[in-house]
Amino acid sequence: MLRVIKISGSRRLRMRELKFRMWNEEEKEMIDGDALAFEEYAPLSHLLTQKGIMQFTGYKDGHGKEIYEGDIVQRIDDMPFTSQGGGKSYSSWEVKFEYGGWSFKSTEKSPAYSYPSFYSNTKYMEVIGNIYEEDNL
């Protein structure tokens, strides 16, 4: 859902929908943001620092699935034909919000980070799990 706000003259600002989901450690289940019920007087800062709350990035993978913080996405790249052959290359990344923007942290042993142009790359990605439900990823 996009909202358009008119700002002086013909300039418009797009705002993305804010959505959340939360991992319930006790029940070992993911709770959709629509089902979250926070106490009326709970401080916002307390809620935002709770482990297990994941924000929607505003983007979807190549299959139309929403991508949330904490998701594990797999990118499939077609490799050019070389003397070693060609084919497909697979890499897995954890979606993180750092330094004011969305980034990817490699799930491989190396601590590599990638800060691709998120909106132009998500169509080549697939959500394959998240950091809470998939221990083997």
Whether 8 maps to a domain, the answer reads no
Whether 136 maps to a domain, the answer reads no
pLDDT at 30: 87
Tally of domains within the chain: 1
Whether 80 maps to a domain, the answer reads yes
Whether 5 maps to a domain, the answer reads no
Task: Please name which of 70, 73, 71, 66 lies closest in space to residue 19, comparing C-alpha atoms.
Answer: 66
Give the residue carrying structure tokens 């969305």.
Answer: 102
Note whether 54 and 48 are within 8 A (CB).
no
> Which of the 8 DSSP states describes residue 65?
-
| β-pair partners for 93 | 73, 106
Most confident of 20-24, 70-74, 115-119: 70-74
Task: Please name which of 134, 133, 125 lies closest in space to residue 57, comparing C-alpha atoms.
Answer: 125
pLDDT at 7: 46
Q: pTM value?
A: 0.68
Whether 122 maps to a domain, the answer reads yes
Range of the domain at 89: 16-130
Read off the pLDDT band of 71 (50, 70, 90): very high
